[in-house]
Amino acid sequence: MRLYNTLTRQEDAFVPLRDNTVRMYTCGLTVYARGHIGNFRTFVSLDVLRRTLREVSGFGVRQVMNFTDVDDRTIIESQKAGVSLRDYTNQYIAAFREDAEALGLEPVEETPRATDEDNLRSMVEMIQALDANGHTYRSDGSVYFKISTLPDYGKLARLDHDGIQSGARVDADKYEKDDARDFVLWKATTEHEPTWDFGVGPGRPGWHIECSAMALRLLDGAPIDIHAGGVDLVFPHHENEIAQAEGATGKPFSRFWVHCEHLLLDEGVKMSKSLGNVFTVSEVLERGHRASTLRYVLLSVHYRKQLRFAWASLDQADEALKRLMACLTRIEGIAATTAGQDGEPHPELAERLEQASQAFGAKLEQDLNVPGALGVMFELVRHLNTAMDDGDLGPPDAQLALPVFERFDAVLGVMALRRAEEASPDVPVDEIEQLIADRKAARARRDFAAADGIRDDLDTRGVILEDTAAGTRWKRK
């Protein structure tokens, strides 16, 4: 396995440090609003990385993905809504879990919240260690990290040290790129803000300390194997995480840093909550697109390249998935037939399947080259369709081919998602049955326009009605 490491600016050979288990930390959502598909571009890419590490490279994986449920924005928005911070952020954590399940993201081993007491205590302990090592100072009730005390500060973002402003403080959780100043570790709070006191005075954590402390607490100390997130987190967030963790422990924080590029709208503008130009997963689905199609779009471009999103790209992805699923359906039909099952698979086909399986894995182990892996898969689809058209694929061949696609999907996660969608119609079954009854009643009173309207409405929603001697049957398109 080779991964591009933002720290070294090159692809490096990757193996986990301990026990063949990858200890990976993913920066999750700041839950002041529902996540958008730009966020989920990162989460889907890292889901594919997780699956590749396990299914292709054979490593165990222990992954932590946090929820930042206390920062400037969550506090401001909860106050605007007139509810407690916990109640406000709960709704967006629930929304994230709903969207993640819809997109087929595997649940990770740990999903800590910043405001969990164990995590707050670990943040305070890290601040105390930083203080003991001479990296902090206090001002107006807040504790700051003094960046001049860490000679290699800026190594991840490759900051120009002439522009580093040691001694100039920044209190905001987020600030402009390349504005490198002493940052807040523990923030003095106002009368109406949530406040904790576990040993460094009353206040609340700064944004950056949360991830450093939770990563080391839940992944058994430094160094962890992989720290991952969106490319916009390189500075200041990840740079400051390194400063905190390494200043406190004296050890490297993370061996590899993996960053996913932005999702852009068709006009080339970054999708961002701050710009107000976001689409959520639920909004995409409400427009009639499938979650499997959206997942395919989000993983189809290499994670280190910007993904330009357009509604037409969903239509193109859907066609690709239809082609894939149609091939699988044909193969499954041949595999289920009884004639010729006692034969042997064609040696040439068996070799072709093994080559495709190996090439698929090799592409993924080359810095998660998902587009290359998809190319391998669809070339195999083309070959198998030709063999089936020519009558050259029998049950033994089909039975050998199906596990190869199962291995593909153990990483991609789109075929299982599409099957689940097809098994559960977009229109609820009880609604379909009621509409069939309404249509029957309309026909009985000779209101054929109303009956045709019900049939056409269901057709546009992906449900086909078939009138038979035994009554009306329905099926998904």
- Residue listed under structure tokens 């943040």: 123
HSE-CB at 105 with a 13 A cutoff on CA atoms is 26
Q: Residues 178-196: pLDDT tens digits?
A: 679 999 999 999 888 999 9
Which pLDDT belongs to residue 161? 79
Q: Which residues on neighbouring strands pair with residue 204, listed in sequence order? A: 187
Q: Rounded to two decimals, what is the model's pTM?
A: 0.88
Domain ranges of the chain: 2-260, 323-423, 429-476
Residue 463 has pLDDT above 70, yes or no: yes
What is the mean predicted confidence (pLDDT) over 453-459? Answer: 87
Asked if 114 and 205 touch (Cβ cutoff 8 Å), the reply is yes
**Cα Rg for the chain, rounded, in angstroms?**
27
Query: CA 335, CA 315: separation in Å to the nearest integer?
Result: 30
341 pLDDT band, cuts 50/70/90, is: low
CA dihedral 267, 271, 274, 280 (to 10 degrees): 130
458 pLDDT band, cuts 50/70/90, is: confident
Fold of 2-260: Rossmann fold (3.40.50)
Q: Which residues on neighbouring strands pair with residue 230, listed in sequence order? A: 260
Cα dist. 386→339, 379, 424 in Å? 21, 11, 31
Q: Residue 275: which of 33, 82, 74, 100 has the closest Cα? A: 33
CA dihedral 6, 305, 51, 42 (to 10 degrees): 80
Q: Residues 5-15: pLDDT tens digits?
A: 999 999 999 99
Query: CA 365, CA 411: separation in Å to the nearest integer?
Result: 12
What is the mean predicted confidence (pLDDT) over 399-407? Answer: 97
Residue 340 has pLDDT above 60, yes or no: no
Which distant-in-sequence residues (6+ apart) come within 8 Å of 397 by Cβ? 334, 345, 346, 349, 350, 387
User: Which of the residue ranges 186-195, 371-380, 460-469 would you say has the lowest mean pLDDT?
Assistant: 460-469
What is the mean predicted confidence (pLDDT) over 388-406? Answer: 95
Q: Residues 347-371: pLDDT tens digits?
A: 999 999 999 999 999 999 999 999 9
Beta strands in 269-371 (DSSP E): 307-309
Residue 266 has pLDDT above 80, yes or no: no
339 pLDDT band, cuts 50/70/90, is: low
Which pLDDT belongs to residue 309? 93
Residue 397 has pLDDT above 60, yes or no: yes
How confident is the prediction for the chain on average, in pLDDT?
93
Q: Residue 212: which of 248, 188, 182 has the closest Cα? A: 248
What is the mean predicted confidence (pLDDT) over 423-445? Answer: 84
Asked if 202 and 196 touch (Cβ cutoff 8 Å), the reply is yes
- % pLDDT > 90, the chain: 80
H or E stretch at 81? helix 72-81
The CATH class that applies to domain 323-423 reads mainly alpha
CA dihedral for 430, 435, 441, 443, sign (positive or negative): negative
- Residue listed under structure tokens 């959502």: 29
Residue 48 has pLDDT above 70, yes or no: yes
What is the mean predicted confidence (pLDDT) over 451-470? Answer: 83
Pair type for strands 142-145 and 165-170: unpaired
CA dihedral 316, 317, 321, 323 (to 10 degrees): 20
- % pLDDT > 70, the chain: 96
- Residue listed under structure tokens 């001049």: 148
Q: Residue 123: which of 196, 62, 29 has the closest Cα? A: 196
User: Which of the residue ranges 165-169, 182-186, 302-306, 422-426 would you say has the lowest mean pLDDT?
Assistant: 422-426
Q: Residues 96-120: pLDDT tens digits?
A: 999 999 999 999 999 999 999 999 9
User: Is residue 281 classed as helix, strand or coil in its secondary structure?
Assistant: helix
Which pLDDT belongs to residue 425? 61
What is the mean predicted confidence (pLDDT) over 283-304? Answer: 94
User: Which of the residue ranges 153-162, 419-428, 454-463 would you say has the lowest mean pLDDT?
Assistant: 419-428
Q: Residue 307: which of 226, 370, 234, 242 has the closest Cα? A: 370
What is the mean predicted confidence (pLDDT) over 252-266? Answer: 95
Pair type for strands 463-468 and 307-309: unpaired
Which pLDDT belongs to residue 58? 98
Domains 2-260 and 323-423 share a fold: no
User: Is residue 439 classed as helix, strand or coil in its secondary structure?
Assistant: helix
